[in-house]
């Protein structure tokens, strides 16, 4: 009997979680506290108001100017997750390491020597800042999630990818 009651709600919970925004102090329908009782002076109010459930950490996007600065200061490891033929055909962000997306999970678990031999760069540590890039930002987001699952903390992705990079470089 209890199983039947629970079965009725199995589709509702995932839909509610998927389609709703996380608000501090928000209540479920019928609760005492409403969204209007939130204090907009709370730190991070707007960020929480707009943020939805995601698998990656918050603030993971890097724009062109930020990436240029990170590359110039050598404060970040940029990993391009495109296939090698794409790099030959379209081009490369200078200073990036190429690890195709299909190899990323295994590559980030290699030893430092093996990594350097296979990919030609220093193995990023779990504490290093890593920026993932691809052609247009789709695969780099998947790479971001993969690295997060492997325990990497300071990870970001360049959503504009190579297309944005080459457009901005041509404008200069």
Tens-place pLDDT, residues 123-166: 999 899 999 999 999 999 999 999 999 999 999 999 999 999 99
In this structure, are 115 and 159 located in the same domain?
Answer: yes
- Higher pLDDT, residue 72 or 31: 72
DSSP SS3 for 46: helix
pLDDT in tens, 122-135: 999 989 999 999 99
Number of structural domains in the chain:
2
pLDDT in tens, 22-42: 444 444 444 443 333 444 444
In this structure, are 16 and 46 located in the same domain?
Answer: yes
Indicate the average pLDDT of the chain. Answer: 76
Residue 46: its pLDDT value, please? 42
86 pLDDT band, cuts 50/70/90, is very high
DSSP SS3 for 116: helix
The CB-side HSE value for 89 (13 A sphere, CA atoms) comes to 7
Residues annotated as catalytic (active site), given as ranges: 134
In this structure, are 45 and 69 located in the same domain?
Answer: no
Q: Which domain holds residue 104?
A: 64-171
Residue 110: its pLDDT value, please? 94
In this structure, are 126 and 81 located in the same domain?
Answer: yes
- 138 touches 159 (CB < 8 A): no
pLDDT in tens, 50-67: 334 445 445 789 999 999
Does 78 fall in a domain?
yes
- In percent, the amount of the chain with pLDDT more than 90 equals 58
- 143 touches 134 (CB < 8 A): yes
Residue 75: its pLDDT value, please? 84
Q: How does strand 155-157 pair with strand 77-80?
A: unpaired
pLDDT for residue 172 is more than 70: yes
Tokens of 110: 């290699």
- The whole-number average pLDDT for the span 89-110 is 95
In this structure, are 9 and 90 located in the same domain?
Answer: no
In this structure, are 18 and 93 located in the same domain?
Answer: no
CA–CA gap between residue 90 and residue 167 (Å, rounded)? 12
């Amino acid at each position: 009997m209890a199983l039947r009651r629970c079965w009725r709600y199995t589709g509702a919970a995932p839909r509610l979680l998927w389609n709703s925004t996380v608000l501090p102090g928000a209540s479920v329908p019928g609760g005492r506290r409403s969204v209007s009782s939130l204090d907009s002076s709370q730190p991070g109010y707007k960020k929480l108001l707009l943020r939805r459930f995601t698998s990656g950490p918050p603030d993971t996007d890097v724009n062109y100017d930020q990436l240029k600065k990170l590359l110039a200061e050598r404060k970040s490891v940029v990993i391009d997750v495109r296939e090698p033929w794409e790099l030959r055909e379209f081009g490369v962000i200078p200073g990036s390491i190429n690890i195709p997306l299909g190899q990323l999970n295994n590559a980030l678990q290699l030893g430092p020597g093996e990594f350097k031999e296979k990919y030609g760069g220093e193995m990023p540590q779990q504490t290093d800042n890593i920026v993932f890039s691809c052609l247009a930002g789709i695969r780099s987001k998947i790479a971001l999630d993969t690295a997060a699952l492997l325990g990497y903390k300071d990870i970001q992705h360049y959503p504009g990818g190579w297309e944005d990079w080459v457009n901005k470089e041509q404008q200069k």
